[in-house]
Every structure is written in C-alpha cells, then in structure tokens.
Amino acid sequence: MTRETKYLFLAISINLVVAFLTFYVFVGFSLSEVIDFVADFFINLSVGIGAFYVTGYYIGNLLSQSKRIRIIHGIFSAFFILLIGTVAGSTVGFIQEGLPASNTNFDYSFSENITDYYFKPLFWIFFFGFIPTLILGIVVGLSLEGKSGSQKVIHLRNNEE
C-alpha cells in the first residue's frame, strides 16, 4: 500500500466520523435515530463506504505514480472519492426500489426516480460534506505536496542470523 493510499484512507475515515457526528447532531443527538437510519440503509451505506475505500485505493496508486503532487490533486481526489461512493450507494437504492417491478400497474417515472435516487443524495451529501471534504483534500494535498512519486510501504524482514 502506498503512502498516498494510506493518507487517503485516513482522510476517508475522518470524513466518515465527521459525517456521523453531523448526522448525530442533525437528528437531535438521538443515537436510536442514527441506529434506525443505519439499519434501514445498511446495504446502501456499506456499498457506499466500500466504494470510498476502493476508489481511495486506486486514486492513491495513481497519485503514487505522479511526478509531483499538488494541493489540487488532494482536493480533486477527495471530491472524486465522495462522488463515486455516493453514486455507488445510490445505485443500490435505485436498483432496490427505483426500478419498476414487472407486476406493477402504477405510473413509473424514470426521470423522477433518477432525481430521487441520484441527484437528491448527491446534493445533500455534497451540501453537508463539501467543507470537510475540501479541508481534508487540502490536508492530503499538503501532506503529499512536492514529493515526487511514492515509495511503497514495505516491511523488510531481516534474515541475518
């Protein structure tokens, strides 16, 4: 795992804690409300969080091959990770509930479901997550700035006897 990937994983984890605390405050410090929300959307959240880390892994590897990393790389990386994770989690909800069942007789609006399952989650996640993501993107960019390429984190075993 590269140094860039480790920094991105740390930034993702911090952003998830900030998101939890923001939601916790938003629901009036009710832990039962948070638990109910997580239980209702467990698959969506799991896929979205998994997508954060998978995207972070690949972006970290791409950054490690970069000759020079700048602050803007950290910012773009953080927002791209947020975008991919949100779309992945939203896709689960869209597949579960947004696609029409074969035996339904109600009016189905594809554009309305796209709005409900993609644009609304993207809006709210970016609305509340913009500033924390921007700050952590800047911190990641500053931490990696100017370092040409990366060294893989390798643990060497000393075989001397």
pLDDT for 110: 83
Burial class (CB in 10 A: 0-12, 13-18, 19+), 90: buried
pLDDT for 8: 95
Beta carbons within 10 angstroms of residue 95's beta carbon: 10
pLDDT for 68: 84
Residues sharing a CB contact under 8 Å with residue 14, sequence separation 6 or more, in sequence order = 132, 136
Q: Do 7 and 144 touch, CB atoms closer than 8 A?
A: yes
pLDDT for 161: 43
Residues of the chain with pLDDT under 50: 150, 153-156, 160-161
pLDDT for 160: 47
d(CA 128, CA 22): 8
pLDDT for 105: 62
pLDDT for 111: 87
pLDDT for 103: 62
